[in-house]
Amino acid sequence: MSETTHSAPPVVRFATSPDRYRHWKLEVDGAVATVTLRVDEHGGLVPGYELKMNSYDLGVDIELYDLVQRLRFEHPEVKAVVVTGGLERMFCAGANIRMLAQSTHAWKVNFCKFTNETRNGIEDATEHSGQTWIAALNGTAAGGGYELALACDQIVLVDDGSSAVSLPEVPLLGVLPGTGGLTRVVDKRHVRKDRADLFATKSEGFRGRTAVEWGLVDASVPRNALDEEVARRAAAAAATSRRPSGAKGVALTPLDRKDEGDTITYPYLSARIDRAGRLVEITVTGPHDAPPADPAAQGADYWPLAVTRALDDLILHLRTNELDLGIWVLRAAGDHERVLAYDAQLREMAGDWFVNEVRHYYKRTLKRLDVTSRSLIAVIEPGTAFAGLLAELALAADRQYMLEGVYEDRDDDAALPLHGYAPPPPVPATIVLTLSNDGDYPMGNGLSRLQSRFWGHDDDLQAVRARLGEPLDAAAAVELGLVTLALDDIDFEEELRIVLEERASLSPDALTGMEANHRFVGPETLETKIFGRLTAWQNWIFIRPNASGPDGALRRYGTGRKGDYDLGRV
């Protein structure tokens, strides 16, 4: 994976399970779960580095993501989660520096993005699942280790005269803390900006009383009092949780995924790769049956959960392993009414713990799509199921193209053969928006995708709201501003071909920057700062010689030599 040898990175699989964990241990005791990080030094995802001092790579974080998901779905009884370190006097040393130094630029970027999303998922669990995360720092938490603690609701640091919290990336590595540390210190923990500046340039960080006084941690206690203090906080958090005490968890069974050549299929999702066109055609399929009376009884087969798990896995796979596929064409197929029935159930049963988890998982997966650096094009044709929750996929796209009427002269037997659904009936396409599109699945900016689409145009937003629940044909969709362009069958396929070819000819770097700027309008939040401001700067810094050049700080770390810097400001 060296940038000088251009070694091919491995194909990464994101599906795992507790029986395969190498780095994390989960223990559940009633309402409190304890997750312990004890990294297998020789368990790196790729050769070339050892994960010493509880440092982590992508493989460690894949396990953490799986663990967070399973706690939410499989353990409704858990109301507080304690995360601690399994090494003596060391919580976590952060991202493994040798791994970063030898990785390609794309690998670094995707690693940081996934890690950020996982930390956001921890905060989401505290806010929306009633599972309060508490960091029990049994030793030093440096860099990404402290950033993991920052994602927790509370931080307790052992006061032993040596353990500290620190963000040493700027002084030691010439890069930024890549997992939200700079943002959370000032925005979440409200550390005064001059103190935050001093903290982020003091490589050894701060211990005990100073860390508490500055707000870097919530408490610092002697080692013999750490367990008692953390247990007290976990019990207090559990006492205020809305999680049900007697509910039975839902097992996240292994995904049913098939990879056959350039086609990937799941029960309700298919992806066809066109390498010549540098694109992938993704089709989500609606449910086969009406919603069940008891969603949790269906478990992982409950259609909204099955679709979400498949979409989540596909996004991660394509984003990490298929860097050349810069365009994702999104389609939805199936019965509008069945999709809308599930959409209504998700709203009506939002107070049910399981349905609540499904809703927030879908929200998080859509957010993952929002921050993915790919061009998203929604195609709306006869047989489409862009309704309710599936309409969010069309609203998430950078452009939407809709067919007016039906295909008059196309051979239906040959139409859309690999999209994962039967040829569409000769009925014009419609889209249906519902109340769920007006706030149930907010973006990282806190707005719905409808609000983001019509930012600054309140009259247009109100016009759409007045027609929620109504099937909208191409003319209505154009009038309301819900699609980019509507064309009849004479021009549709040719226009779409030209659009996709033009997109594929543009600079991927420029497109990434353009799309990220257009997708997130309006207010800035902690999330938009992390994925916009922080990520953008870090991506730039990662390719600068001061960090990643042969004499840069990132490459020289551990050699005893400091980086040689070009001291000119840009």
Catalytic residue among 117, 147, 381, 515: 147
Q: 302: which strand partners?
A: none
Separation CA 443–CA 140 (nearest Å): 34
Query: Which residues, other chains included, contact 18 with Cβ-Cβ below 8 Å and sequence gap of 6+?
Result: 26, 66, 67, 70
Tokens at 454, concatenated: 């019509």
Inter-residue contact 550 to 97 (CB < 8 Å): no
Using alpha carbons only, give the angle 473, 475, 477 rounded to the nearest 5 degrees: 65
Q: Of the listed 63, 169, 229, 515, which one is catalytic?
A: 169
Contact (Cβ atoms closer than 8 angstroms) between residue 221 and residue 159:
yes
- For 58, the token pair is 């992508």
Helix (H, G, I), strand (E, B) or coil at 418: coil
Integer angstrom CA distances of residue 460 from 23, 339, 394, 402, 404: 51, 26, 18, 19, 22
Instruction: Answer for the pair 449, 437: CB distance below 8 angstroms, yes or no.
Output: yes
User: What strands, in cross-sheet order, belong to the sheet with 140-142?
Assistant: 90-92, 140-142, 164-166, 206-207
Secondary structure class of 26 (helix, strand, coil): strand
Give the span between the Cα atoms of 32 and 27, in whole angstroms.
9
Q: Are 222 and 12 in contact (CB under 8 A)?
A: no
Exposure of 386 in the CB half-sphere (CA atoms within 13 A): 29
CA atoms within 13 A on the CB side of 66: 26
Is residue 169 flagged as an active site residue?
yes
Three-state secondary structure call for residue 156: strand
381 in active site: no
Q: Which residues are catalytic?
A: 147, 169
